[in-house]
């Protein structure tokens, strides 16, 4: 116990416990076994229970989605360190930019009002694209506010503190608005929330020996932005990885914008080889149906890895068993590798798991079903890795199954 606590504290203080130990252990904590114990009885549950004593080690199959965002403020140093401690072998910085065109880690260019304490800084809050307007209980109108990274210089951005993503839309005061953390998350670890630039996150990941998967986010501002074009934006992301010393084999640059992926394939082919197309066609393109032709069109363009949401990869067969979807089968036929997102982002699964599990919701009614889904993704779909808001769950599974 003392050794575990010492390692945890060392990580949170930024000291390389991995260097001290000379290997890459993972601290999975109680949640994975809680999920396993909540599973329906059967062979899979027995197998996963047999691994409870560990040992557990870091694995590239476990990808930290925004760090460990289920319990830590996303895209903060503390969230990243927690994910590293849990054995995530790949970490994500969602990349956007500031007013002075510096790359920073935020899920969206327009989320500072829900993911940071910017509204608690009056001098900065008044610079927001849409300054805070309280809700109107008489009319039912929600509070309005939008604070973008591009509203602030990097120096101003660095004065902010990350908080758990959430807001109270019925708030009549800034203080009420900022108190919106979902009940199944926690504010216990949001007392620091150190924001990071993309370069700083890459330096941190390099220090701990984990791989990186930065996502180039869509700009909320019109591009080019003060002379900063989309191509310059995509190139700067790669340049900062190179400057820190990341080799292309340890980086999975990603984007929902296929043109970004094609840019990397054509202009930085060493990084383009592992560039990830975040496939949103099934919910952004009305009437989209996966076909072998539209999957092969991606591979013909040089795309090697696609990453759709969990539900796109799963279906129910005639016996209501969770199986690979037609999308997943066609992607494999087109020689595309697959990464799935996002486990541990739906909260308790008693009501079917919500958006991420929509294609198999009939078979999702307890937290332990998360492991059932993970097993289908790993064994039947054959994904390269799984994004999770609490990476220890995937780390536990991957170690137990020797992935």
For residue range 148-197, list pLDDT tens digits in order.
999 999 999 999 999 999 999 999 999 999 999 999 999 999 999 999 99
For residues 193-213, average pLDDT: 98
Q: Which stretch of DSSP H or E encloses residue 12?
A: helix 2-12
For residue range 20-45, list pLDDT tens digits in order.
333 799 999 999 999 999 999 999 99
Q: Compute the distance between CA of residue 236 and CA of residue 221 in angstroms, rounded to an integer.
A: 18
What is the structure's pLDDT at 305? 98
> Which distant-in-sequence residues (6+ apart) come within 8 Å of 17 by Cβ?
6, 7, 10, 11, 85
> Which distant-in-sequence residues (6+ apart) come within 8 Å of 184 by Cβ?
347, 348
pLDDT > 90: what percent of the chain?
94
What is the structure's pLDDT at 94? 98
Q: Which stretch of DSSP H or E encloses residue 50?
A: none
**Residue 209 banded pLDDT, cuts 50, 70, 90:** very high
Task: Provide DSSP, 87-156.
Answer: TEEEE--EEEE-TT--EEE-S-TT-HHHHBSGGG-HHHHTTSSEEEE--BTTTTBPPEEE--GGGS-HHH
Q: Compute the distance between CA of residue 296 and CA of residue 306 in angstroms, rounded to an integer.
A: 12
What is the structure's pLDDT at 2? 35
What is the structure's pLDDT at 12? 42
User: Does residue 8 or residue 174 have the better pLDDT?
Assistant: 174
What is the structure's pLDDT at 285? 96
Which long-range CB contacts under 8 A does 364-368 form with residues at least 24 apart? 366/38, 366/39, 367/34, 367/35, 367/38, 368/35, 368/36, 368/37, 368/38, 368/39, 368/40, 368/45
Of how many residues is the chain composed?
403
Q: Domain 21-93+196-400: which CATH class? A: alpha beta
Q: Compute the distance between CA of residue 63 and CA of residue 85 in angstroms, rounded to an integer.
A: 12
**Residue 399 banded pLDDT, cuts 50, 70, 90:** very high
For residue range 286-301, list pLDDT tens digits in order.
999 999 999 999 999 9
How many Cβ atoms sit within 10 Å of the Cβ of residue 316?
15
Domain range summary for the chain, segments of one domain joined by +:
21-93+196-400, 110-178
For residue 349, give both structure tokens: 């699964």
Residue identified by tokens 């120096």 is 155
Cβ atoms of residues 105 and 95 within 8 Å:
yes
Task: Provide DSSP, 215-280.
Answer: EEPPPSS-SSBTTB-HHHHHHHHHHHHHHHT--GGGB--EES-HHHHHHHHHHSHHHHTT-EEE--
User: Strands 215-216, 211-212: parallel, antiparallel or unpaired by DSSP?
Assistant: unpaired
Task: Provide DSSP, 181-215.
Answer: --TTS-STT-S--BB-BHHHHHHHHHHHT-EE--E
């Amino acid at each position: 116990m003392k050794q575990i606590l010492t390692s945890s504290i060392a990580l949170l203080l930024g000291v390389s416990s991995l260097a001290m130990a000379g290997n890459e252990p993972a601290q999975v904590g109680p949640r994975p076994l809680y999920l396993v114990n909540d599973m329906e009885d059967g062979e899979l549950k027995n197998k996963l229970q047999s691994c409870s004593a560990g040992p557990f080690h870091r694995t590239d199959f476990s990808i930290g989605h925004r760090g460990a965002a289920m319990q830590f403020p996303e895209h903060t140093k503390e969230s990243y360190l927690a994910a590293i401690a849990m054995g995530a072998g790949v970490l994500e910085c969602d990349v956007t930019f500031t007013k002075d065109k510096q790359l920073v880690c935020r899920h969206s260019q327009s989320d500072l009002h829900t993911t940071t304490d910017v509204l608690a800084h009056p001098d900065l809050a008044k610079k927001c694209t849409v300054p805070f307007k309280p809700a109107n209980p008489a009319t039912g109108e929600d509070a309005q506010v939008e604070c973008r990274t591009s509203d602030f210089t990097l120096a101003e951005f660095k004065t902010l503190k990350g908080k758990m993503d959430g807001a109270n839309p019925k708030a009549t005061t800034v203080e009420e608005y900022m108190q919106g953390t979902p009940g199944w998350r926690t504010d216990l670890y949001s007392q620091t929330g150190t924001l990071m630039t993309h370069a700083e996150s890459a330096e941190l990941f390099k220090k701990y020996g984990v791989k990186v998967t930065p996502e180039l986010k869509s700009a909320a501002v019109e591009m080019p932005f003060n002379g900063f074009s989309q191509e310059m934006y995509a190139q700067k992301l790669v340049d900062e990885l190179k400057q820190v010393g990341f080799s292309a084999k340890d980086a999975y640059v990603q984007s929902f914008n296929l043109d970004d992926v094609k840019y990397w394939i054509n202009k930085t082919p060493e990084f383009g080889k592992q560039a990830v197309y975040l496939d949103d066609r099934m919910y952004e393109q009305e009437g989209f149906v996966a076909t072998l032709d539209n999957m092969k069109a991606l591979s013909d363009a040089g795309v090697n890895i696609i990453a759709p949401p969990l539900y796109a990869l799963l279906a129910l067969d005639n016996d209501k068993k969770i199986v690979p979807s037609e999308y997943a089968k066609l992607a494999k036929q087109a020689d595309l590798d697959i990464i799935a997102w996002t486990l541990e982002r739906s909260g308790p699964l008693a009501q079917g798991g919500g958006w991420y599990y929509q294609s198999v919701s009939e078979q999702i009614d307890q937290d332990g079903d998360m492991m059932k889904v993970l097993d289908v993704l790993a064994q039947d779909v054959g994904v390269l890795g799984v994004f999770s808001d609490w990476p220890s769950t995937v780390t536990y599974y991957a170690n137990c199954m020797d992935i």
